[in-house]
Amino acid sequence: MAADSDALQARFDRLIDADERIEPRDWMPDEYRKTLVRQIAQHAHSEIIGMQPEGNWLTRAPSLRRKAILTAKVQDEAGHGLYLYGAAETLGTPREELLDRLHTGRQKYSSIFNYPTLTWADVGAIGWLVDGAAIMNQVPLCRCSFGPYARAMIRICKEESFHQRQGFQIMLTLAKGTPEQKTLAQDALDRWWWPSIMMFGPPDAESVHGDQNMRWGIKRFGNDELRQKFIDATVPQADLLGLVIPDPDMYLDEESGHYVHGTIDWDHFWDVVKGDGPCNRERLATRVGAHDDGTWVREAATAYADKQAQRAAEAAA
Amino acid sequence: MSSKADWPLWEVFVRAKRGVSHVHAGTVHAPDAELALQNARDLFTRRSEGISLWVVKSNDITASDPDDRDALFDPADDKTFRHPTDFELPDEVANM
Amino acid sequence: MPPLLTYTLRQGDRALVLAQRLLETITHAPEIEEDMALSNLALDLIGQARALYTYAGEIDEPFEGPDGTTNHDEDHYAYWREQHEFCNPLLVEQPGEGFAQVIARQFLHDAYALPYWQAMTSSTDTTLAALAAKSVKETAYHLRHGRSWVVRLGDGTSESHDRMQSAVDHLWRFTGELFEHDEVEDQLIVVGIAADPTEIQATWLATVTDTLHEATLALPDDGVMQTGGRSGRHTESFSRLIGELQVLARAHPGASW
C-alpha cells in the first residue's frame, strides 16, 4: 500500500514539476484537494455575493445603455460563479454542500463585497478597481495546476475584460462631467481604494498557505508582488482621471520605479474578514433569503421531473 | 445532505459553428432536460459561442479509470507506423 | 401627438417597465441559473425599449438643444417623462411578489408578445417590422422559458400548484387590457402599421388555455378587467417604480453618463 501511494505521489509530483495539469479523476494529495475546494468555492461565493453591490444599482442606472451594460455584467458574475462551482464539483463536493458552507459562514467570500455601494460612482469604482484587482489575481490562475479551475479561469478572464473597461469609462465620464459628478467619483475612489489593495491579501510574510500553494502551482505570484503591480498600473490611471489616490504617504520610488504605499490598516481588514464589515450581515442574509425562498421552487421542479420520468416509464411499459 | 431541492448535474456540450464537433463546455444544475438546455443556453452561449447544445446527466457518463490509463493508452505508443511521419520518403515526392 | 408616436411609446413602455420589474428580482432568484435566465429576459426587453424609444425620437418633434435642433434620444423617454405619460399595460407593472408571480406575469405577457411581434413582422412600417423580426426570436425563447415554468410549478408539488394558481388568478384581471384598442390604434390598424389585437387575443387564449391545462391549473373566469395603463392611469406601486428608475438621472439634469 505504502509503495502504491508513494508511486501515486511521485507521479503527481512529476506532473506538477512538468507544469502539466491535474485532472479531476487523477490521484491527488488530500491537502491539495481540500485547498482547491476551499479556494475555488470561495472564489465562486465571491462572484455570487459580488452580484449584490452592483445589483443594488440595476433599477437606478442613469441611462438605458448603462442599465443594459450593468445587467450583462451582473449576469456574467452569476455565470462566473456557476463556472467555478462546476470546477469545484469535479473534486467531489456538490454545489449544495458548498452553498451550505457559505450560508452557514463556514466558507468566506472576498471581503471587498462587504462594502456598500452608496452612489452610482461606486459602480464605476468597482469595475475599475475591484475588477482590476481581481484580474491581476485571476490571470495567473489561468495556468493553475488543476485543469478545471484553469479552464474556468480562462473563460472568466476572457469575459471579464469588458468589466474593468466599463468601470473605468464610468469613472472617466464622471470625472469629466459636472462638478457634482466629479465629487462622486472622488468620493468613490476614497472609499474603494484601501479595500481594493487589501484584496491581494495580507503581506506574504504573514500569509499562511502561500508557500505550499506556490509549490502546487495553485498560486503563481506573491500577494505583495501582485499588489505592487496593481498599484503601479492604477496610479497613472487615477492621474488621467484627475482624481487623487487617498494615500498621502504614497510616493514614487525613482530607483525601483514603483509606487510605495502608506500603511495598510490590516486590523480593519481582519475585522471585515471575521464578519464585522459594513455589509457582511446584509450580504449573507440576502443570499440565504434567496436560497430559502427558492426551496419550494426547486422542490417543485424536482417533483415535476420525477412525475415526467414516471409517466415516460409507464408509457414505455 | 441531498434533498428534493437539489437539482442533478448535467454535462454541457456546445457546437461552436457548423463543421465542428460538440465540445465539452462545463456543467449546469437542472431538474430536467428541458431546463438543463435552457440553463446551458444562458450560461454557455451568452456571447454567441454556440449554434447547438447537448446536455447529458453527469451520472450517465461512463469514464475510463485513471488507473487503467497505462493498460488502455500506452499500447498505442509503440505503433508509430500509424502516423505519416513514420515514413521517410524522398524529397521529390511532394504531398503524399 | 401623432398616433405612431403614441403607439411606439406604448410598446417601448411595455418593454421597459417589465424589464425594470425583472431587474428587481436579480440576486433573489430561486437558483443561480434562474438569475441568469431572468437577466437575459431583462436584457432583451431593455434592448427592445431602446430601439422603440430611438424610433419615437425620430417621429417626435425635434427640440432646440445646446447643439442645435436634435431628436430626443432614448433616455428622454425613459427618464424625463412623468409617470402619467407612461402608457404600458398594467400587467407589466405589477410587482412580482415571489417567483410564482414573476413567472405568471412573464408568461401572461409573453403569450401575448409572441403573436404580437409575429403579426408586426408584416407591419407596413418598415422600422417596426424590422424590430418585430428581431423581437420574435427573443420572445419565442421568453415564452418557452415562462411556459415551462408554469407547467413545472403547476404540476410540481401541491404547494407550488397553489402558489402558481393564485399568481395566475391574481394577475388575470390585468390581461383584458392587452387586447383593448382605441382610436389611436385603430387608425394605424387600418393602414397596416399596427397589429389587430383581436386577432392576437385568440392565439393568446389558446396558448394560455393549453399551458394551464398541461400545468393542471384552472383557467380563471373573466371577471372585471382593470384598465388605464395606456391612458396613463396606473396602479399604486407604479409611482415608486418610476421614481426608482429616474431618481439618479433626475438628480443631475444635463449630465452625461
Check CB contact under 8 Å for A296 and C245: no
Angle between helices A223-241 and A179-198 (to 10 degrees): 170
Check CB contact under 8 Å for B31 and A301: yes
Picking from C233, C236, C235, C257, the residue whose alpha carbon sits closest to that of residue C246 is C257
In which domain, by residue range, is B29 found?
A: 4-61+68-94
Q: Answer for the pair C59, C5: CB distance below 8 angstroms, yes or no.
A: yes
What is the distance between the alpha carbons of residues C92 and C235, in angstroms, rounded to a whole number? 11
CB neighbourhood size of A200 (10 A): 24
Global ipTM: 0.97
Q: Tell me how close the Cα of B78 comes to any Cα of chain C, in angstroms.
A: 47
Could you tell me which residues are beta bridge partners of residue C26? none
Using left for φ > 0, alpha for ψ between -120 and 50, and beta otherwise, residue C102 falls in: alpha
In this structure, the strands spanning B22-29 and B52-57 are: unpaired
3-state class (DSSP) for residue A146 = strand
- In order of C51, C115, C135, the CA distances from C93 in angstroms are 20, 21, 20
Angle between helices C32-59 and C99-120 (to 10 degrees): 40
What is the distance between the alpha carbons of residues C159 and A300, in angstroms, rounded to a whole number? 8
Q: Answer for the pair A218, A169: CB distance below 8 angstroms, yes or no.
A: no
Q: Tell me how close the Cα of C201 comes to any Cα of chain B, in angstroms.
A: 27
Kindly report, residue by residue over C65-83, the tens digit of the pLDDT.
Answer: 888 999 999 999 999 999 9
Write the residue in B5, B32, B42 that is nearest to A298 by C-beta: B5
Kindly report, residue by residue over C152-185, the tens digit of the pLDDT.
Answer: 999 999 999 999 999 999 999 999 999 999 999 9
Q: Tell me how close the Cα of B35 comes to any Cα of chain A, in angstroms.
A: 9
Report the CATH number at residue B90: 3.10.20.520
Going by pLDDT thresholds of 50, 70 and 90, the confidence category of residue A27 is very high
Mutate to test the interface with A, among C13, C33, C36, C39 (most CBs of A within 10 A): C39
Does pTM surpass 0.90?
Answer: yes
| pLDDT above 90 coverage of chain C, percent | 97
Could you tell me which residues are beta bridge partners of residue B14? B23, B53
Chain B hits for C145, CB-CB cut-off 8 Å, are 38
For chain A, list the strands marked E by DSSP. Answer: 251-253, 258-260
Check CB contact under 8 Å for B38 and C36: no
Residue A100 has which C-alpha cell?
Answer: 451550505
3-state class (DSSP) for residue C150 = helix
Q: Answer for the pair C14, C44: CB distance below 8 angstroms, yes or no.
A: no
Residue B6, chain C, CB below 8 Å: the answer is no
Kindly report, residue by residue over A236-260, the tens digit of the pLDDT.
Answer: 999 999 999 999 999 999 999 999 9
CB pairs under 8 A between B and C: 25
Q: Answer for the pair A280, A114: CB distance below 8 angstroms, yes or no.
A: yes
Please name the residues in contact with C209: beta carbons below 8 A apart, sequence gap of 6 or more: C219
3-state class (DSSP) for residue A187 = helix
Picking from C191, C181, C80, the residue whose alpha carbon sits closest to that of residue C128 is C191
Name the interface residues of C facing B (CB cutoff 8 Å): 31, 33, 36-37, 40, 144-145, 148, 152
Residue spans of alpha helices (H) in chain B:
33-44, 69-73
Kindly report, residue by residue over A207-236, the tens digit of the pLDDT.
Answer: 766 688 889 988 889 999 999 999 999 999
Backbone angles phi, psi at C69, to 5 degrees: -75, 125
Residue C233 has which C-alpha cell?
Answer: 392611469
| Dihedral angle sign, alpha carbons of residues C233, C135, A80, B3 | positive
Going by pLDDT thresholds of 50, 70 and 90, the confidence category of residue A3 is low
What is the distance between the alpha carbons of residues C147 and A216, in angstroms, rounded to a whole number? 48
pLDDT at A156 > cutoff 70: yes
Picking from A49, A40, A66, A60, the residue whose alpha carbon sits closest to that of residue A130 is A49
Model pLDDT, residue B1:
44
Q: Tell me how close the Cα of B34 comes to any Cα of chain C, in angstroms.
A: 8
What is the distance between the alpha carbons of residues A184 and C255, in angstroms, rounded to a whole number? 13
What is the distance between the alpha carbons of residues A41 and A37, in angstroms, rounded to a whole number? 6
Chain B hits for C31, CB-CB cut-off 8 Å, are 7, 29
Check CB contact under 8 Å for A303 and C157: yes
Write the residue in A81, A178, A293 that is nearest to C255 by C-beta: A178
What is the distance between the alpha carbons of residues C99 and C146, in angstroms, rounded to a whole number? 11
Q: Cα(first)–Cα(last) distance of chain C, in Å?
A: 29
Q: Tell me how close the Cα of C17 comes to any Cα of chain B, in angstroms.
A: 22
pLDDT at C196 > cutoff 90: yes
Chain A hits for C34, CB-CB cut-off 8 Å, are 294, 297
Single-letter residue type at C147: R
3-state class (DSSP) for residue A173 = helix
Model pLDDT, residue A141:
95
Domain C3-251 is classified in which CATH homologous superfamily?
Ferritin, core subunit, four-helix bundle (1.20.1260.10)
What is the distance between the alpha carbons of residues A27 and B18, in angstroms, rounded to a whole number? 37
Long-range pairs for A258-262 at CB < 8 Å and ≥24 separation? A258/A228, A258/A231, A258/A232, A259/A228, A259/A231, A259/A232, A259/A235, A261/A197, A261/A231
Residue B20 has which C-alpha cell?
Answer: 465542428
| pLDDT above 70 coverage of chain A, percent | 98
Check CB contact under 8 Å for B43 and A27: no
Mutate to test the interface with B, among A47, A71, A89 (most CBs of B within 10 A): A89
Chain B hits for A82, CB-CB cut-off 8 Å, are 26, 28, 43
Check CB contact under 8 Å for C35 and A304: no
pLDDT at C103 > cutoff 70: yes
Q: How many structural domains is chain B composed of?
A: 1
Mean pLDDT of chain C: 97
Going by pLDDT thresholds of 50, 70 and 90, the confidence category of residue B93 is confident
- In order of B15, C91, C156, the CA distances from C162 in angstroms are 40, 21, 10
Model pLDDT, residue B2:
58
Segment A119-143 shows an average pLDDT of: 96
Check CB contact under 8 Å for A297 and C160: yes
Check CB contact under 8 Å for B42 and C31: no
The alpha carbon of B82 is separated from its chain's Cα centroid by a whole number of angstroms, namely 24
What is the distance between the alpha carbons of residues C199 and C176, in angstroms, rounded to a whole number? 14
